Structure 1
Amino acid sequence: MSPRTLSPTSSARSAEEVGRRVRRRRFGRYRLAPFIFTLGTAVLFGLFFLWPGVLGLSYSLTDYRGWGEPEFVGLSNYTDLFGDSEFYQSLGRTFVYAAFAVPVGYCLALAMAVALTTQRARGKTPARIIFFVPWLVSPIVAGVIWRWMFGESFGFVNYIIRLLGGDAVPWASNADLSLFVAVLASAWGGAAFNMLLFIAAISNVPRSYYEAAELDGAGSWQRFRYITLPSIAPTSVLVILLSSLGAMKEFAMIQALNGGGPGTQNRLIVQYIYETGFERSLVGYASAASMVLLVILMVIAIVQLRISKRKNAW
């Protein structure tokens, strides 16, 4: 036998060693990319979320005014905040705004998604573009547009009402009407993104469900109620959660639309924090208000997620 001739056993061992080296190289390569992406995400999260949160919490325990050395005051800002009627007014108005804006935005986005996923619908491509354009508009620009449309003396809507023989509606001087316009503007601007989520969810519902229901004599409303809505329940929870958090943090659109007016009757909580921290230079006090808002948002998210888990368990 030639010395270079290998036995079957040694050949098998060599093949196993080569396979192990290849697997190690692949395993190391596949582990490196996720590690890099995870590290980058962790750095960005710490830089733009964790560090500002820690800084805000530290400021909330001081009397910092934007200059000079902050002096530690403990929980004094929080005790003053919980006795501030303006804080409660802004927080309550924010809850009212969210209570109307979230359902209106949800229904509008779902209606748009159903219209675009209907098999008999025509002109879907132009409709998608038209429906999606509002989401591309800056919230500040959207606020200016709706302010121009619903201005009392110069608004387009009142101009049409006058042409029809009616009286001008006090869209800006009436607090409830002003909030109504803000709700419409919010639903108009945010419906497109939620529409995409609903379209993806509805497209994943098996067509066999609708075909079987149609053979059983179910109408369009019955198919929507008993097939579509239960099938997209997880997406509905996600849309409601994101919309609720977004409504509680609304600032730019409201600021450009009515500035929290008339007066301060429609001043939302983020506007209150902004005015307190930047216009009144009470950075520590505003930081305490932002920490309270953070806790409220966390509670809202936890409650909605637990409700979703209970429904899935049923």
Structure 2
Amino acid sequence: MKKWPFLFIFANLVLFILFFAWPALLGVYYSFTEYNGSIATFVGLNNYINLFQDPSFYKALFRTFFYTLLGVPFIYVTSLIISVLLVSKYTKGKNVAKMIFFFPWLVSPIVVGILWRWMFGESFGFINYMIQVLGGNPIQWSSDGNFAFLVVLFATAWAGTAFNMLIFIGALISIPKSLYEAADVDGGTAWQKFWHITLPSIRSTSFLVILLAVFNLMKEFPMVQALTNGGPGSDTTFIVQYIYETGFDQLKIGYASAASMVLFVVLLVFALLQFRFAKGGKIDD
């Protein structure tokens, strides 16, 4: 019987090596080569030098930072508010509401992009149709960069709320009810209970939600690809779209691998900073 734990560990180790470690090592190797899919020629640091001299790379990277900077708080606040309402004893129809809010998690990111593209289409979209019915002028959702970015942001929040909602609900229902009862005895308001009891009690959960949201937004690809295809122009081209276009459309796989390594370092640095902040300025060895 003692062999079974080792067998399961070995199976997971094999999967980790095949689908994570080996592709990661290949990516590092290709980042130092000029590789077009058939022949890899070692070029040293040329890919990184060219990458840091490419204005398009900086535009995609900083556009991704801006998208993440706006998207993470939006997703966090939306998920937390919905979760608080769904665990409140005053909310009616909670089971139906949970099903409705959880529905986006069941849908593929590509389907989410197509759905929102249909809703916000300029000539055929449901939103513009309703605006015209009400006597307004149709909005250029897909040809105006600012509006396209806004649609991507709302689609991201809609798709990302469900999973975070489940995490928050699990944390909220585990908070001892005695804390709220003591606050009621002391005359605490709803806001005071939320600020002084709820938020501190879900600190570790908040850290997890923020960390996962940052990773998901920094790596967002299928939903944005289906929704805007990086357009108009390059106004919604984020770093992963830039890597995809460089690697697969232009067949600069070595160059795209270098960009992937930069993204990996950025995410690693952010994760370490998050852990340091979450543990009060100390990372366990």
TM-score normalised by L of structure 2: 0.96
**How big is each residue's C-alpha offset from its partner over 1:185-205, in whole Å with a ceiling of 9 and x where there is no partner?**
011011111001101101111
Q: Which structure 2 residues correspond to residues 238-257 of structure 1 after superposition, within 5 A? A: 238-257=208-227
Change (3 A) 1:311 1:213: farther
Letter in 2 for 1:208: S
Asked whether the 8 Å contact 2:276–2:282 carries over to 1, the reply is no
Paired residue for 1:35? 6
Q: Residue 46 in 1 paired to residue 14 in 2?
A: no
Instruction: Tell me, yes or no, if structure 1 residue 205 matches structure 2 residue 143.
Output: no
* Secondary structure in 2 matching 1:71: strand
2:73 counterpart letter in structure 1: P
TM-aligned CA deviation for residue 312 of structure 1: 9.6
- The residue that corresponds to 1:268 in the other structure is 238
Give the Cα separation in 2 of the matches to 1:286 and 1:312. 35
Q: Distance in 2 between matches of 1:51 and 1:312?
A: 31
Deviation readout 1:247-281 (Å, 9 max, x if unpaired): 00000000000011111121000000000011000
Q: What 5-or-longer segments of structure 1 have no aligned partner?
A: 1-28
- Cα 1:113–1:311 change in 2 (3 A) is farther
Q: Which residue of 79, 102, 105 maps to 1:109?
A: 79
Equivalent pairs counted in the alignment come to 283
Does 2:70 correspond to 1:95?
no
The CA deviation at 1:311 is 7.6
Equivalent residue for 2:121?
Answer: 151
2:277 is the alignment partner of 1:302: no
The 1:120/1:312 distance shift into structure 2, 3 A limit, reads farther
> Take 1:139 and 1:36, find their aligned partners in 2: how far apart are those partners?
34
Do structure 1's residue 64 and structure 2's residue 35 form an aligned pair? yes
**Preserved contact between residue 149 and residue 235 of structure 2 (Cα < 8 Å):** no
Which residue in 2 is equivalent to 1:74?
A: 44
Among 198, 201, 204, the alignment partner of 1:231 is: 201
Query: 2:34, 2:252 within 8 Å by CA — same for their partners in 1?
Result: yes
Match of 2:108 among 116, 120, 138: 138
Q: Secondary structure at 1:235's aligned position in 2?
A: helix
Alignment match of 2:251 (pick from 281, 295, 307): 281
Distance 1:312 1:290, change over 3 A: closer
Q: Distance in 1 between matches of 2:186 and 2:138?
A: 52
Q: Letter of the 2:8 partner, please give it.
A: F
TM-score (norm 1): 0.88
CA displacement at 1:38 relative to structure 2: 2.0
| Other structure's SS at 1:190 match | helix
Match of 1:195? 165
Gaps of 5+ in 2: none
CA drift of 1:221 comes to: 1.3
Shift of residue 155, structure 1, vs aligned partner: 1.1
Partner of 2:133: 163
Residues 145-164 of structure 1: per-residue CA shift (max 9 Å, x gap): 10111111111111111111
Superposition deviation, residue 222 in structure 1: 1.2
- SS state at 1:63 partner: strand
Shift of residue 34 of structure 1? 2.9
Please give the alpha-carbon distance, in whole angstroms, between the structure 2 residues aligned to 1:227 and 1:265.
42
Aligned-partner Cα distance in 2 for 1:168–1:159: 8
Which stretch shifts more, 221-230 or 38-47?
A: 38-47
SS of the residue corresponding to residue 42 of structure 2 reads coil
Quick one: structure 1 residues 93 and 285, their matched pair in 2 at CA, closer, same or farther if it must change by over 3 Å? same
